[in-house]
Amino acid sequence: MLALVANRHQGMPEWTLLRLVCTFIVDKFEYALPYFELSKLETQKVDALLRNAYKQALGHLFSALVAHNTIAEITEAVRTAHIQRLAKSPEGRTLLTRLGITKPLQYPDVRSLPTTVQAAIHATPLPRNMNPDLHPERRQA
């Protein structure tokens, strides 16, 4: 598909082709592959598919610019994002504990400000519209 639209004279520009690669290929890999245990041969095949897709999209620029991640980096990023998202809620932390992921990324406990500090902070609301004739006292700074 990329070869049909990647005509250098009348085809799409490189940035559009890169968006197509990210949309149709990388996103599909991000969706499915992090949940499989891939062998080394399968990982190499997927990396070759990614390289070929980027090479088709970038053409001669590909040799000068290596602008893609390997499948190992993509799956690690997806797994880390999942663990971070689950670690934010008590239910997610329970699920991670049951799965044997004992040390997710730690988030500091959120504490509210003391009431004395909350009472001392006063912020006036922003005007609804930005007409310079309205609310001149708010606009003086």
pLDDT 10s digits, 17-66 = 777 777 778 888 888 888 888 899 999 998 888 888 878 777 766 555 66
Spatial neighbors of 97 by CB under 8 A, at least 6 apart, are none
Domain boundary assignment for the chain: 2-76
- The three-class DSSP label of residue 60 is coil
- The stretch 58-81 carries a mean pLDDT of 76
Q: What is the pLDDT of residue 63?
A: 54
Select from 83, 65, 72 the least CA-distant residue to 30. Answer: 72
Digit-coded pLDDT (tens) for 84-136: 888 888 898 889 889 888 765 566 667 788 999 989 998 888 767 667 777 77
- Does the predicted TM-score (pTM) go above 0.75? no
Q: What is the pLDDT of residue 66?
A: 61
